[in-house]
Amino acid sequence: MALTVVTGAGSGIGRATAVRFARNSFAVVVADINEQTGQETVGLIEKSGGRAVFRRLDVADLTDWEDFADWVCAEHGVPDVVVNNAGILIGGGFVEQTNADWRRMIQINMMSPLVGSRLFVQRMTDAGVRGHIVNVCSVGAFMPTPIAPSYVVAKAGAWFGTQALRAEFGDKGIGVSAICPGLIRTSLAANGTRGGVSDDDSSDWSSKLAAGHRYLGRSPDRVAAAIERAVRHNLSTVPVGIEAWAGWYLYRLSPSAARGLYGLITMSIADKAVALSGKVFGGR
C-alpha cells in the first residue's frame, strides 16, 4: 500500500488532504503538534475504512524532524508522497513583529517544509522511490504586503526553495509541487497572533479575524483536491482560488505593480477590517 505523510494534519488543509489520500487507498501518517486533533483525524480515516497512524511532530524542532523521518521510514517504509502543510500566521507591520516573531515564522513556514523536503527526498532517492514532495505555500508568496511581512517572506522562501528542489530532483524521478491557496476556511487565523500589541489585544484580533475567516474562505477540500491533482500530473505551482490565480499572474506580469497595489493595504486598514469582521460575523 502506498504511503502518504501529511504535516499539520490535525485540522484544515492537512486533515482534508489526509482524508482524501486515505480515501484513495493510501496509508497515511498523520503528523501534528496537537495530539488530540491529530488522533481525531486518524479516527475519521479509520471510521471510513482507511489506514492511518498518528505521530506528534513539532516542525520547528530540527531534532524532532530527524527523529520523525527516521521513525516513518523504519516503521512504515519510505513514503510515496510527503505533504508539508503545517504553518502559522503572525500579523503586524515589519517592525511591529519582534525578532522572536520573525524567527518563529521562518522556522515554521519556510524552514519546516524545506527541512521536511530535504529529509524525505534523500530517503526517496536512496531507496529508488519515485516519490512526490508537496509544499503548501500560499498566494502570500507573491504578495509583498505590509500587513503580514514575515508570513509572505517565509512563504516566498518556501515557494522558491520548492522550485530549486524541483530543478535538482525532477530528472531523478521525484515530483515536486508548490500549492498556493488563497483564502481557505482553516484554524490559521484563530491560532494566529498580532505583533506589536498586548497578548489580550492579540487574542482579540485573532478572534475577530477568525470570525470572518470562517465565512469568507473556501473549503480545505479545494486545496486537498489541488494537492491530489498536483501529485497526479506533477504540477509545479498550483494556485487555489481566483484571488490566488490573480496574485500569481499579477506578480509574474509586473512585480512593481503588485508591490504598489498591495502597499495600499496598510496595517491600520487591516485592523479596521478585522474589527468590522468581528462585528459582522460575531468575533468577540
Catalytic residues: 151
DSSP structure string for the chain: --EEEEETTTSHHHHHHHHHHHHTT-EEEEEES-HHHHHHHHHHHHHTT-EEEEEE--TT-HHHHHHHHHHHHHHH-S-SEEEE-----EES-TTTS-HHHHHHHIIIIIIHHHHHHHHHHHHHHHHT---EEEEE--GGGG---SSSHHHHHHHHHHHHHHHHHHHHHGGGT-EEEEEEE-SB-SSTTTT-EETTS-HHHHHHHHHHHHHHHHHHSBPHHHHHHHHHHHHHHT-SEEEESHHHHHHHHHHHH-HHHHHHHHHTS-HHHHHHHHHHHHHHHT--
